[in-house]
């Protein structure tokens, strides 16, 4: 729940508290008159009388703004807003320990990012990374795990994947990149094994990506 108020959160709870579920933690975002966003955890607890009947409610409020910032930095890339390598590796552990089938992996590597940084500065390189990240988000489902796993390298984990659907997504991705004058090399692999042998899955996608990159260099 996100609200925009320029008054104390207690005032909001007095007017809107009945909408909050009992004994269930609720996250509320409050934007003050200065545009600063703060996050609060609110727990609504019933107050009973001697007969055990609910007579009122207490609200326990905790400012979790800094906690949420740390959680974000733990699992998200601060530049692009995508998941980071740490989150990706945690998802890999979950995939390897579960019964997921089939699993698809797409590896993307931006071409010439180092040259752009060297020639035009890191600000231009960052703009390229942000633009490509937006294309990635638009090209895949919300259920797909999109991560920035290196400086210019990205990985997408896809559940219930097929080679045909993955190739279709890659075509869509590459068309969007060409439209935005972005050059990217892409490789894919898919696993039907249970459990998933992720090192092999990653190696195949990575090798396919580098083959495409070498092909571009030869041309």
DSSP 83: B
Domain boundary among 50, 70, 90: 70
Say yes or no: 30 and 106 in one domain: no
Q: Which pTM value belongs to this model?
A: 0.72
pLDDT tens, residue by residue, 9-67: 766 776 667 777 777 778 877 776 677 778 888 888 878 777 777 667 788 888 888 88
Say yes or no: 65 and 86 in one domain: no
Say yes or no: 66 and 152 in one domain: no
Domain boundary among 70, 103, 130: 70
Say yes or no: 143 and 204 in one domain: yes
Number of domains in the chain: 2
Say yes or no: 131 and 146 in one domain: yes
CA gap 55, 86 in Å, rounded: 47
Domain boundary among 20, 37, 70: 70
pLDDT tens, residue by residue, 124-156: 999 999 999 999 999 999 889 999 999 999 999
Specify the pairing of strand 2-4 against strand 26-31. Answer: parallel
Question: Domain of 111: which CATH number?
Answer: 3.30.70.270
Structural domain that includes position 63:
2-70
Structure tokens at 24: 């269930």
Say yes or no: 137 and 102 in one domain: yes
Say yes or no: 139 and 46 in one domain: no
Say yes or no: 81 and 65 in one domain: no
CA gap 190, 192 in Å, rounded: 7
């Amino acid at each position: 729940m996100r609200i925009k108020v320029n008054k104390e959160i207690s005032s909001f709870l007095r007017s809107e508290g009945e909408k909050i579920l009992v004994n269930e933690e609720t996250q509320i975002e409050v934007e003050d008159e200065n545009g600063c966003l703060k996050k609060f955890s609110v727990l609504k607890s019933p107050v009973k009388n001697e007969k055990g009947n609910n007579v009122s409610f207490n609200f326990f409020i905790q400012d979790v703004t800094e906690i949420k910032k740390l959680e974000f930095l733990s699992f998200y890339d601060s530049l692009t807003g995508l998941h980071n390598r740490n989150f990706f590796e945690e998802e890999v552990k979950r995939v390897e320990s579960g019964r997921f089938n089939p699993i698809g992996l797409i590896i993307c590597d931006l071409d010439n990012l180092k040259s752009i940084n060297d020639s035009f500065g890191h600000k231009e390189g960052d703009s390229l990374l942000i633009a490509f990240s937006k294309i990635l988000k638009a090209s895949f489902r919300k259920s797909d795990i999109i991560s920035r796993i290196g400086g210019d390298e990205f990985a997408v984990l896809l559940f219930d994947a097929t080679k045909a659907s993955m190739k279709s997504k890659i075509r869509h991705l590459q068309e969007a990149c060409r439209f935005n004058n972005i050059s990217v090399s892409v490789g894919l692999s898919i696993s039907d094994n249970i459990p998933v042998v992720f090192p092999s899955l990653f190696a195949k996608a990575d090798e396919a990506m580098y083959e495409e990159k070498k092909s571009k260099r030869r041309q």
